[in-house]
Amino acid sequence: MTTGTHDISSLLAVRFQSVNDFGINSIEAVLRNDVAAHNQIVQSMMDSFVEFTTDSQRIYGTSVSGEMVEVDEYGRGPTQRNQPGATVGFPLRRFQWPVGWTEDWFAVHTPAEMAEATLAGEGAHWRRIYNDIKRAIYPSANYTFRDFLVNNVDLAVKRLVNADGASIPNGPNGETFNGATHTHYLARAGGALAASDVTGAINHVVEHGHGGAIKIAIASGDETAWRALTGFQPYVDPRMIYRNTDTPAMTLDITRLDNRAIGIIGAAEVWVKPWAIANYAFVWDNAGPKTLAYRQRTATALQGLRIAATLKTFPLVAEYMQAEYGIGVWNRTNGAVLYYGGTSYTDPAIL
């Protein structure tokens, strides 16, 4: 039996020895640690705008509003009432990646095949989360979700502010917003994307008091169009050699073309993101309250991606890897979507 400390790369190298011959206990520890590391990476990648929670729903309400009323020395102003906030719900769904690990499987397959199946499951998990981030941000219509994994309660899953009549918190300077008309699903005004369209989208977030660190997420295929906008200030390539008359700016990340900051426009830093959709820009305050909520099970053992063992005493006897989570909008004002493929907002098709 092989002994010592192993990691996922050492398992990938074992291609001529069965799982049983190598040692199931050694493999279990490696895969458990690798999946745990994967879950930590997933959480850190979403931490800028996603809050992790076990709540199924919350109240997202309006701030106290009203007017000071002038009275004489005997007068008494009328009582002013405020409407309660609306309930926002967060879905919880179950996703699986089949592995089919049985006692017979262990006898004829190798540790490398187990490692490959685990890495494939981790990749599928991350791709699914990418798509669910898109599904939470870009569609504009609210929907009802039946919480079938818990108690079959119907949850009202909301989008960003979308003129659905719900109360909207006042702005930092006393601004008030009409819940029946105010929306954060915007479209370009003219024949092509312009800097004024971007400024308008930024203002839709800032006017609600979010302005600590405004960011814009765009798809990599739209980078050239954004660099051409009036007022765009690009980050510079670190491979450039500057003359005495040049003023170096923040350097451009050249290691990840699909996940990097590329420059500044107005009050916002523009990022290319792998989950962003072509012809759509998502604007949010990275320093403000989290835009999305990532709901998980209350039991910590069921949180994140895991190998769903048939029996606890045999942790690798499993038919699939499994994750239970759901993503929904929490802070409805901390985000706006600008569609520049047309002059009226159109929901994207998300696979």
The DSSP annotation for 129-184 comes to HHHHHHHHHS----EEEE-TTTT--EEEE--SSBSSS---PPPTTS----TTT-BS
93, 302 contact by CB (below 8 A): no
> Highest-confidence range of 114-123, 167-176, 247-256, by mean pLDDT?
114-123
Write the single-letter amino acid at 30.
V
pLDDT tens-digit map of 285-321: 999 899 999 999 999 999 999 999 887 778 888 999 9
Q: Is residue 39 included in any domain, yes or no?
A: yes
**Total structural domains in the chain?**
1
Domain residue limits at 262: 8-58+86-339
Q: Is residue 349 included in any domain, yes or no?
A: no
Q: Could you identify the residue written with the tokens 């850190």?
A: 44
Q: Is residue 350 included in any domain, yes or no?
A: no
Cβ contacts of 241 within 8 Å, gap of 6 or more: none
Token pair in block for residue 198 = 């971007």
Q: Is residue 212 included in any domain, yes or no?
A: yes
Q: Where are the beta strands (DSSP E) in 47-153?
A: 50-53, 57-60, 86-89, 93-101, 143-146
Q: Is residue 215 included in any domain, yes or no?
A: yes
Least confident of 23-27, 98-102, 339-343: 23-27
Q: Is residue 75 included in any domain, yes or no?
A: no
Write the single-letter amino acid at 348.
P
Q: Is residue 115 included in any domain, yes or no?
A: yes
Q: Is residue 79 included in any domain, yes or no?
A: no
164, 143 contact by CB (below 8 A): no
